[in-house]
């Protein structure tokens, strides 16, 4: 395997998928693969396209990771697929959800895989990993830590199966196809989300949101951030704003915020509750199943 190349492409809004992508990079390097890691954001599209294409061309595997937005891959992933020229490579597609591989998350890779296969890629393996959700309902700290602790073993299992030649493709049920079509329509309308965003008096005009928006949907206008119609609802600006000055109407964000690094630091040395105890309730059914599979139960 010495000097064989793996190229990893990922999009991440608030950091969960980035953690997973970096673990893939780490483990492939440990296996003596040469590894290229690309984050699909606005900066990516300014990089040397020829160099990226050469990496894809020489790769044994291309790994694609993304969080689920409106039951689909986020818009930058489809923009990336549209621009790449190299085809006929083996691709692994991994979606990252907060709820696991249960309805309504079934079918979330369909549009991405369909787009890749239309370009001539061979999708040989697909699966889902679970990271804490950044909206609707927050997982308790113990459950979040179980998910973070599961990353290395989950990634290791995926890599082992891919390298052994195991093919893993999901069968699309009719309702999943319909759901994938609906989610594509919802994603196209995500630009309306900007109308729900406001800036309160705590804003210091530091420009953090402008610099860190992955799709450059935020601009400074007379010293104050304004939101354009490129928004994809990643929530990075809301949770990352140093002054907590970005507010959103109606949308169910987490009142306590979302910062995985801060949570890990806060939970350092804390003995975790059993998985069964911190994942009670129908909402956590998929997460519980995912973690118990990881722990061999």
Question: Tell me: the pLDDT tens digits for 115-127?
Answer: 999 999 999 999 9
Taking alpha carbons only, the member of 255, 233, 197 closest to residue 70 is: 233
Q: How confident is the model at residue 60 (pLDDT cuts 50, 70, 90)?
A: very high
Cα angle value 11/12/13 (rounded, 5°): 130
Residue 114 has pLDDT above 70, yes or no: yes
Mean pLDDT on 224-228: 93
SS3 content of the chain, % helix, strand, coil (to 5): 40, 20, 40
CB atoms within 10 A of CB 146: 25
Whether domain 5-183 has CATH 3.30.70.100: no
- pTM, two decimal places: 0.93
pLDDT value, residue 174: 56
pLDDT digits (tens, 9 = 90+) for 133-142: 999 999 999 9
Cα angle value 85/119/61 (rounded, 5°): 75
Q: How confident is the model at residue 47 (pLDDT cuts 50, 70, 90)?
A: very high
Token pair recorded at residue 273 = 């509750």
Cα gap 15→236, rounded to integer Å: 9
231 or 104: which carries more pLDDT confidence? 231
pLDDT digits (tens, 9 = 90+) for 279-290: 999 889 999 999
CATH class of 190-248: alpha beta
Q: How confident is the model at residue 86 (pLDDT cuts 50, 70, 90)?
A: confident
Token pair recorded at residue 233 = 């609802």
Residue 223 has pLDDT above 90, yes or no: no
Residue 183 has pLDDT above 70, yes or no: no
Cα gap 48→11, rounded to integer Å: 18
Mean pLDDT on 87-109: 88
Mean pLDDT on 154-159: 98
Average pLDDT, the chain: 91
Domain boundaries, the chain: 5-183, 190-248
Q: How confident is the model at residue 1 (pLDDT cuts 50, 70, 90)?
A: very low
Whether 190-248 and 5-183 are alike in CATH topology: the answer is no
């Amino acid at each position: 395997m010495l000097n064989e190349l793996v190229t990893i492409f990922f999009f991440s809004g608030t950091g969960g998928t980035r953690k997973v992508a970096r673990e893939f990079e780490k483990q492939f390097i440990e296996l003596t693969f040469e590894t290229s890691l690309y984050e699909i954001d606005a900066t990516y599209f300014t990089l040397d396209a020829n160099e990226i294409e050469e990496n894809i061309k020489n790769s044994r595997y291309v790994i694609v990771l993304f969080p689920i937005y409106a039951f689909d891959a986020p818009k930058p992933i489809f923009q990336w697929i549209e621009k790449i020229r190299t085809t006929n490579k083996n691709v692994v597609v991994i979606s990252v959800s907060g709820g696991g591989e249960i309805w309504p998350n079934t079918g979330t890779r369909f549009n991405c895989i369909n787009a890749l296969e239309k370009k001539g890629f061979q999708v040989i393996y697909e699966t889902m990993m679970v990271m804490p959700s950044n909206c609707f309902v927050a997982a308790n700290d113990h459950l979040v830590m179980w998910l973070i602790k599961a990353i290395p073993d989950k990634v290791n299992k995926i890599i082992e199966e891919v390298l052994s030649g195991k093919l893993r493709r999901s069968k699309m049920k009719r309702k999943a196809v319909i759901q994938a079509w609906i989610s594509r329509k919802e994603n196209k309308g995500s630009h309306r989300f900007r109308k729900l965003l406001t800036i309160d008096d705590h804003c210091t005009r530091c420009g953090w949101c402008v610099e860190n928006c992955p799709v450059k949907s935020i601009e400074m206008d007379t010293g104050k951030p304004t939101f354009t119609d490129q928004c994809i609802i990643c929530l990075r600006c809301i949770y990352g704003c140093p002054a907590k000055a970005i507010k959103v109407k109606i949308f169910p964000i987490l009142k306590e915020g979302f910062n995985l690094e801060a949570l890990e630091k806060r939970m350092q040395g804390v003995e975790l509750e059993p998985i069964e105890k911190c994942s009670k309730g129908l909402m956590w059914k998929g997460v519980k199943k995912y973690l118990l599979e990881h722990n061999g139960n």
